[in-house]
Amino acid sequence: MNPLRKQRLYALIAVLIGSLLATWLVVSALSENMNLFYSPSEILEVDIDENVLIRAGGMVKQGSIEKSKDSLNVRFTVTDYQNELIINYEGILPDLFDENAGVVVRGNLKTDGTFKAIEVLAKHDENYMPPEVANIIEANE
Amino acid sequence: MLLQGTDLQILTQPLLRFDMRSSVLDWLGIILKRDLIIAFRRSSTYITPLVFFLIVITFFPLALGPQESLLSSLAPGVIWIAALLASLLAVESIFSEDFRDGSLDDFFVSLEPSFILVFAKVMIHWLITGLPILIASSLAAIILYLPLESFVPMILSLLLGTSFMSLLGALGAALSLGKSAILSAIIVLPFSIPTLLMGTSVVTFSLNNQDYSGFLMMMGAMLAIGIPLLCLLTVEALLLNYD
Amino acid sequence: MGSPPLFYRWSSKIIPWLGILAIIFLSVGLFWGLLIAPTDYKQGDVYRILYVHVPSAILGQSIFMFMAACGLINVVWRAKISGMMLKSAAPIGMSFTLIALVTGSVWGKPTWGTWWVWDARLTSTLILLFIYAALIGLYSSIDDKTKADRGVSILSIVGLAIIPVIKKSVDWWQTLHQPSTFTLTSSPSMSPEMYQPLLLCVIGFYLIFAFTLTLNLRNEVIDRERSKNWVKQIFVN
């Protein structure tokens, strides 16, 4: 075989093996938990130090928001429909923060199992519709 | 140069002795041997990244204060940033010497797989920067109060990450051959961000007692596709200088 | 694409048309989207920024894919014109990526409650911006234009790896950024009176890209052929 062709053949084989191996690794990596983000269920399983900053999130449970009358303190429960996590926060909440809406919080997990948030962010979903349509959908449910 | 006698023979050997019967591995061995001798004759090649890495690490406790909990939570990021910067330090020298004295020209006319040459150069670069950093990282982990349980994930992630950085560095060096040394670093930096993210995640996850194998597999995947592809692209980039 | 003089004549004809079409699509799309389309049941009027944010984010990524394709063609077949295309597209793609990041930030403040968050979608888009910058930086550092083209081509192929990461980041990781509204497999989760203007905006943005790309490319061709006779003839008359 002429050297140039041999060289191309080697290169092709190397790229092929490399991409096969890489695909296999990526597929198996994606089945692992790679979130720097914890749901209320995941937070029960891990053992995280009190002063490590983490992110957690889920849906705000209906009727769980307790706002303090004389300060910016707020306490609410986040749920993933299996487990729940109580969150304490002091500060201004984003406009879209509401019951049954997604939130992402950043803060520390206390030893008593509650979460002290230093930041609350509202997550909105990928659905967009006019208010009339939303009302109809709600009425049908 | 300091080379003489038998050393000189090794340096000229590839071109004198090499013929079609030799396998690719012989070729790899010859280049590795030659370059290692050159590297070890000049101790600055492997000392500089090492010293740079340790000095950058030392900056953090001095600048942020010696508070143990703070340092240990910052340790994954600090060690990784220092390792990335240190591995970029000697990038420019991967091909420049051979380009200047003309031995690169000889490799290209020899008709042997040129990606083997690039692969050997990447290995050499890793051996003189990645490996010393890997060894020094344990020391860095101690002075930054990283818990002992996180040592293994740190070493594993650095092993995969610095290898990938050497590959990227070779491409950057080939593209900026004959230009300022800082250019290759600027080219490579944006591409190194995924490595930094995954590497720090491995160590951070181990700090939180969580399974970090997903990130290691991702880094392995980058390496698996990076070795053949980046070596081939580096060959292309080197050929730019021989049009 | 044929010879440079042919391209020059052809592009001179097509550029005004591309410009007019882009203006029509954009003005209709933006007018419809920003003023006529209904308000969102949850976000109110704030959501309207997506008529700029979504198209520019789409363009930022598709221009990079276009550039990597040009790069591959340039590396494999040494086609000069593909190198010039790559060079001409880079600043446009970088601008769109920057617009996507800025408008996203403006959108994030009232809805999420923050200008910036280090989640996977945002971070990977930021990396894309840096990669654009690296490509442009590399190009400007090599004097020989043909060599600069090839160097940037090689680097753009490596950069292509970031595109699937941006695309899938919202599915692979728990991001604050919402998942895609438009997917190939299911109908969009957006009411028709909202996505029709969006569609017009996306087409309009693509037309802007085609318009500016052809303009840039024409300048590039003239610049590189400036010592040739046909260029002299154009400018002498």
**Residue C98: what residue type?**
L
Task: Give yes or no: residues A9 and A54 share one domain.
Answer: no
- The C-alpha angle with vertex C130 and arms to C125 and C134, in degrees rounded to 5, equals 145
Q: Which residues contact B34 (CB under 8 A, 6 or more apart)?
A: B10, B11, B13, B14
List of residues 6+ apart from A87 with CB closer than 8 A: A56, A75, A76, A77, A78, A105, A107, A114, A115, A116, A117, A120
C41-58 per-position pLDDT tens digit: 777 788 889 899 999 999
Chain B within 8 Å of C123 (Cβ-Cβ)? yes
Burial label for A1, CB within 10 Å (0-12, 13-18, 19+), is: exposed
Using a CB-CB cut-off of 8 Å, the residues of chain C touching B231 are none
Chain C, window 187-226: residues with a beta carbon less than 8 angstroms from a chain B beta carbon: none
How far is CA C109 from each of CA A95, A104, B138, C105, C125, rounded to the nearest angstrom?
10, 14, 42, 6, 18
Q: Which of residues 50-69 of A touch C (CB under 8 A)?
A: 57
Question: Tell me: the pLDDT tens digits for B198-224?
Answer: 898 899 888 877 788 888 998 999 999
Residues A91, A69 share a domain: yes
Tell me how far CA of residue B14 lies from CA of A4, A5, B63, B115, in angstroms: 19, 22, 50, 16
Domain residues for the domain of A12 are 1-32
Beta-bridge partner residues of A78: A60, A85
Quick one: average pLDDT of C168-191?
A: 70
Consecutive H or E run containing A84: strand A84-90
pLDDT tens string B145-163: 888 888 999 999 999 999 9
For residue A91, being part of any structural domain is answered with: yes
Which of A21-30, A94-103, B118-127 has the lowest average pLDDT? Answer: A94-103
Q: Which of B51-55, B104-108, B181-185 has the largest mean confidence? A: B51-55
Residue A112 within any structural domain of the chain: yes
**A122 neighbourhood in chain C, CB within 8 Å:** 111-113
Task: Please indicate, yes or no, if residue A130 is contained in any of the structural domains.
Answer: no
Residue A132, domain member (yes or no): no
Whether residue A88 is contained in a domain is answered as yes
pLDDT at B11 over 70: no
Give the residue extent of every domain in chain C. 15-177+190-236
Calpha distance B150→B202 (Å, rounded):
9
Asked if the structure places residue A131 within a domain, the reply is no
If one compares B107 and B231, the residue with the highest pLDDT of the two is B231
Rounded CA gap, A47 and B207, in Å?
A: 10
Q: Which range is most confident: C46-50, C164-168, C214-218, C232-236?
A: C214-218
Across chain C, what does the average pLDDT equal?
87
pTM metric for this prediction: 0.83
Residue C160 DSSP one-character state: T
The domain segmentation of chain B, as residue ranges, is 24-242
> Where do we find the tokens 């940037």?
C152
Which pLDDT does position C172 carry in this prediction? 65
**Residue A53: inside a domain:** yes
Q: Do C134 and B189 touch (CB under 8 A)?
A: yes
The set of chains that have 3 or more CB pairs under 8 A with A is B, C
Whether residue B28 lies within 8 A of chain A, CB to CB, comes out as no
**Total structural domains within chain A:** 2
Residue A133 lies in a domain: no
Residues A108 and A70 in one domain: yes
Which residue's structure tokens are 């990396």?
C127
Nearest Cα residue to C142 out of B243, B63, B12: B243
Confidence of residue A101 (pLDDT cuts 50, 70, 90): confident
Q: Positive or negative CA dihedral for A107, A112, A114, A116? A: negative
Residue B148, C-beta contacts closer than 8 angstroms, at least 6 positions apart:
none
Residues paired with A79 in a beta bridge: A59, A84
A75 and A11 share one domain: no
